[in-house]
Amino acid sequence: MKLLFQGVEGIIDQSEQLRRCGPAIAAAPNAAENDDPKLREECGVVAIHGHPDAARQAFLSLYALQHRGQESAGIATADGQHLANIKGMGLVSEIFTDDVLQKLPGTMAIGHTRYSTTGDSALLNAQPIRVDSTKGLIAIAHNGNLVNLGNIRARLERDGAYFQTTSDSEIIVQLIAHSRAGTLVDAIADSLSQVDGAFSIVMMTRDRIFAARDPRGFRPLSMGRLKHPDGPDTIIFASETCAFDLLRAEYIRDVLPGELVMVTEDGVTSRQYASGVPQTSCIFEHVYFARPDSRIYGQWVQETRDRMGRQLARESSVPADVIVPVPDSGVTAALGYAEEAGIPFRFGLIRNHYVGRTFIEPEQRVRDFGVRLKLNPVHNLLEGKRVVLIDDSIIRGTTSRKIVRMVRGAGAKEVHLRISCPPTISPCFYGVDTPSKSELIAANQSIDEIRRFIEADSLAYLSLDGLYSAVNAENKQGYCTACYTGNYPTQWVDVDEILPAGASL
Ligand code: SF4
């Protein structure tokens, strides 16, 4: 395993000094090549202020957020004087052994777990990113994706900025460094108001923690507290509230869209650096990304997902003997569907949780080996049954077809597929790695054509209105639904990516 250690003396490559733990994990595989059935999670961020073992608290928080990115992880700590930073490729538990955590002293920490959405998929772009700027040492960890970086990066480079990475997160630090604002907090607010797109950010200097969300609130970010009877509370920020549970911390509130929160020894202060922009939080966090035991944008994911399943049953129920989720993300919606439809719920597909980025021989790929490694049908539950499969998305359609074939191959009499969100017809530019429009099956084929392609007896998606009602969207406001509608809340999108199949500029 290759790790980077950034201490006060600079960057030290510790790959030879640190113990190898677990198999080496290669860069993210090509999604099409591995026929990845899911859209890629983006990133998870955490921040800890005021804990004697801040690094371990950050590690535990990242452990709870591992589902948001498995490519790399990093933790930076500060002890009031120095700022240390260790990041590596692989899973949080593989990188942060006891030995490694001991190299991260301090009462403050920020952490990041990542699947790359912009910038190269390399250790160089793993986060936190630490930059020595005119405003002092700053470490930053970012969830989301900026959409106007080209212009800003060019302007900063003309002004003499030297970029250490190709990650868009560094643009924010360079903007801070080049800001003419007199104080650091003014410089951060000034910089955040210049960038457009999705960002939930945590930052750390030698003695302060900052947390901020973009003005539209695309990505979640919550604040929690660990109470100490004999001293000041530990303040925690995390992408999802499930991280607080592992620390036995309590949820305080969400960081608001356009809000910048600062935590120092004197306590928590906040300012609204941007306002007047309509909120467009990512609705797909509720459909798929977030854990069901998290509360995001003020609602429990378990409840919204359950309502998606119930609404799906109301909209497109079909006579059946058994409701089967495509594990794991389809489980909660399937429970809601089954209860609403009054049809038994069964785990008819079992997922192997220990399949990593297994190397699959090319000839095995052709024989659907990748899907069979991950999922196995429970023959006695499926044989002779009319099965409704519940899943949360169809991207290219190839994986759905393999699953339908698998269930039919296990003896199912009928296989009906129900999807707990509308058809995915447009790519995301806000931190979710989606294929371009030409590769999205629903952007290029009718629902009946998709049904024939995946070889299901019937296929139905949740309506957009049904999805809005499941997340309690008042007047259908407050959410980004661009991957279902093609209506992007920001001005900047990559035109090449939104062309349908066969089209060219
Ligand atoms: S385009 Fe889709 S995935 Fe991206 S932010 Fe909007 S709702 Fe979320």
For the chain, the structural domain boundaries read 3-20+43-277, 285-498
Least confident of 11-15, 208-212, 328-332, 487-491: 11-15
pLDDT in tens, 191-204: 999 998 999 999 99
Average pLDDT over the chain, rounded to an integer: 86
Collect all residues with Cβ–Cβ distance below 8 Å to 337 and sequence separation of at least 6. 309, 310, 312, 313, 323, 388, 390, 418, 420
Question: What average pLDDT score do residues 330-342 get?
Answer: 97
CA 20–ligand 1 middle distance (angstroms): 37
The topology (CATH level 3) of 285-498 is: Rossmann fold (3.40.50)
Mutation pick for ligand 1 pocket among 281, 282, 285, 288 (CB with most ligand atoms within 8 Å): 282
Confidence of residue 41 (pLDDT cuts 50, 70, 90): low
Q: Contact, 106 vs 55, CB < 8 A? A: yes
- Which residue out of 481, 483, 490 has the highest number of ligand 1 atoms within 8 Å of its CB and is therefore the one to mutate? 483
H or E stretch at 101: helix 98-101
Going from the Cα of 234 to the center of ligand 1, the distance in angstroms, rounded, reads 32
Atom of ligand 1 lying closest to residue 39 CA: 3
Residue with tokens 């509308």: 422
**Nearest atom, ligand 1, residue 427 CA:** 1
For residue 424, give the ligand 1 atom closest to its CA: 2
List the structure tokens of 184.
């650091």
| 339 has pLDDT over 90 | yes
Report the catalytic residues. 43
- Per-residue pLDDT, 358: 47
> Best substitution site from 40, 213, 481 to test ligand 1's pocket, by max atoms within 8 Å of Cβ?
481
pLDDT at 99 over 80: yes
Cα distances (Å, whole numbers) of residue 496 to 64, 480, 490, 492, 501: 36, 21, 16, 12, 11
Pocket of ligand 1 (CB under 6 A): 218, 282-284, 428, 430, 432, 480-483
Give 73 Cα–ligand 1 centroid separation in angstroms.
Answer: 23
> Which pLDDT value is given to residue 38?
64
pLDDT (average), residues 98-120: 87
Bond from prior residue into 128 cis (ω within 30 degrees of 0): yes
Q: What does residue 274 show for φ and ψ, rounded to 5 degrees? A: -150, 145
- Alpha-carbon gap, residue 337 to 332, rounded angstroms: 9
pLDDT digits 0-9 by tens, 431-447: 888 888 999 999 999 99
Distance 104 CA to ligand 1 centre (A): 35
pLDDT of residue 129 exceeding 80, the answer is yes
User: For residue 383, what are the CA distances in angstroms to 321, 352, 379, 415?
Assistant: 11, 21, 6, 11
pLDDT at 359 over 60: no
If you take atom 8 of ligand 1, which residue's CA is the nearest one?
282
Mean pLDDT of 143-159: 82
Cα separation, 416 vs 486, whole angstroms = 27
Q: In terms of C-beta density within 10 A (0-12 exposed, 13-18 middle, 19 or more buried), how is residue 231 classed?
A: exposed
Q: Which atom of ligand 1 is nearest to the CA of 285?
A: 8
Nearest ligand 1 atom, CA 434:
3
Atom 5 in ligand 1: which residue has the minimum CA distance?
Answer: 282
Ligand 1 nearest-atom number relative to CA 481:
7
Pocket test for ligand 1, best of 395, 480, 494 (most atoms within 8 A of CB): 480
Structure tokens at 54: 């801040």
Ligand 1 center to residue 163 CA distance, Å? 28
Q: How far is the CA of 255 from the centre of ligand 1 (A)?
A: 19
Confidence of residue 33 (pLDDT cuts 50, 70, 90): very low
CA proximity to 152, closest of 135, 132, 173? 173
In this structure, which residue's CA is closest to atom 2 in ligand 1? 483
116 Cα: distance to centroid of ligand 1 (angstroms): 16
Tell me, in angstroms, the distance from the centre of ligand 1 to residue 252's CA. 26
Query: Residue 417 and residue 426: Cα distance in Å, rounded?
Result: 21
Element of type H or E holding 89:
strand 83-89
More confident residue, 170 or 67: 67
CATH assignment, 3-20+43-277: 3.60.20.10
Is 113 within 8 Å of 66 (Cβ atoms)? yes
Distance CA 412, CA 382 (A): 5
> 297-306, 352-361, 485-494: which range is least confident on average?
352-361
